[in-house]
Homo-oligomer: A and B are copies of this chain.
Amino acid sequence: MSRTMRVGVLGAGQLGRMLALAGHPMGVRCVAYAQQPDEPACAVGEHVIGAWDDPAALDEFASRIDVATYEFENVPLEAVRRVGAKVPLRPSIDALRVAADRIEEKTLFRELGIDTPPFAAIDSEDDLRAAVATIGLPAVLKTRTMGYDGKGQRVLRTMQDVDGAFTALGARPSILEGFVAFEREVSQLGVRGADGSIAFYPLAENVHRDGILRVSIAPARATIAIEETARAYLRAILESLDYVGVLALELFQAGDRLLANEMAPRVHNTGHHTIEAAETSQFESHLRAVAGLPLGSTALHGHAAMVNLVGALPEPASILAIDGAHLHLYGKEPRPGRKVGHVTVRADDEAGRDARLAEVLRVVDAL
């Protein structure tokens, strides 16, 4: 008989929680590596508690799993290396390293022929001034590592903004990116199996507010040419990194141009709608790939929208009363700017989806 497959997940936030929930039915048991026992993934499955620099806890974690993955890209590389020396790591540490560093990431995009905004590495105020002279303003200065949800970045609009910006951002290795006047932000998610097979989710379209994803709809309102370009980009990255698992690529669409913004080597917030709206959710897809199982269909049923719950929780009844609304809470205490859950709606057509989305936004915007 078949044995339970154990997938270790470095990190225990909401992504780890939704991975664990997706694993249980198909006999894939997730073991989360958490810093604290109250992290979202801990309530739904096995876990090991330890600091990122605790070799004994990391070894205990590795001893309990068949394969390891990670649910966010800021896991310290040393911790990942230690676990990866004992069990297979999927995606590889290379994917993590590249995705965790904005310069490495954009350099890879460029090498693969993937269009990006203009960018330059910034290690000093002098570098910044020189780069602004080439790239122009407005531009965005971001730390190379550890940035997420709009943290660790400054928009530079005038030369006054430029002076001292590098120091103000902590004088850390940074990147300057040319500002793109885009029409919409989209994201392309896909999954590559251990056997090299690839499946793409339909392109999603995203709306951010204060640097945090607010709403995502799928499929995106995009031409077939745009969608084909997005898939070609993602395929190039998946194959060049011999990638196994779900990969998300965030892009700007400006007319016929599609420019890569960043990638996430994991399941992604813009793919949460796949739980209800896709034949196989991104969480199940990631686990199938990581566990060496066949990939499932990534086809979407109709039209979906997802609304993040940021900083405040609705009364569950206020969401559940909306026809077709699905509530996902992460078991986190609300704090300003913190993602504490999301709501998904689905409908057979776009108009139906939009009507449901409007109802959800009415509740969520009033929080």
Contacts and interface: CB of A to CB of B under 8 A. Distances in A.
A320 B297 contact: no
A317 B297 contact: no
A4 B329 CA distance: 10
A147 interface: no
Contact of A313 (B1, B28, B315): B1
Interface in A1-49: 1-2, 4-5, 17, 21, 24-29, 43-45
In the complex, which of the residues A17, A24, A296, A320 has the most CB atoms of chain B within 10 Å of its own CB atom? A24
Contact of A329 (B17, B25, B325, B333): B25
Interface in A265-320: 279, 288, 293-294, 296-297, 301, 312-317, 320
A192 to B, nearest CB: 16
A156 B316 CA distance: 53
A328 interface: yes
B43 A328 contact: no
Given A1-B313, A316-B2, A27 B329 contact: yes
Contact of A320 (B4, B43, B288): B288
Contacts of A25: 21, 326-329
A296 B325 CA distance: 8
A321 interface: yes
A59 interface: no
A334 interface: yes
A211 interface: no
Nearest to A344: B25
A259 to B, nearest CB: 34
A17 B314 CA distance: 26
A314 B21 CA distance: 21
A53 interface: no
Contacts of A55: none
A164 interface: no
A313 B5 CA distance: 14
A296 B320 contact: yes
A323 interface: yes
A285 to B, nearest CB: 11
11 contacts: A5-B316, A25-B327, A27-B327, A27-B329, A29-B43, A44-B44, A288-B320, A294-B321, A296-B323, A297-B323, A301-B301
Given A24-B44, A288-B320, 13 more contacts: A2-B315, A24-B43, A25-B326, A25-B329, A26-B326, A26-B328, A26-B329, A27-B316, A28-B316, A44-B44, A279-B324, A296-B323, A297-B323
Q: 3 shortest A-B CB distances, which residue pairs?
A: A27-B329, A294-B321, A25-B328
Interface of A: 1-2, 4-5, 17, 21, 24-29, 43-45, 279, 288, 293-294, 296-297, 301, 312-317, 320-321, 323-329, 331, 333-334, 346
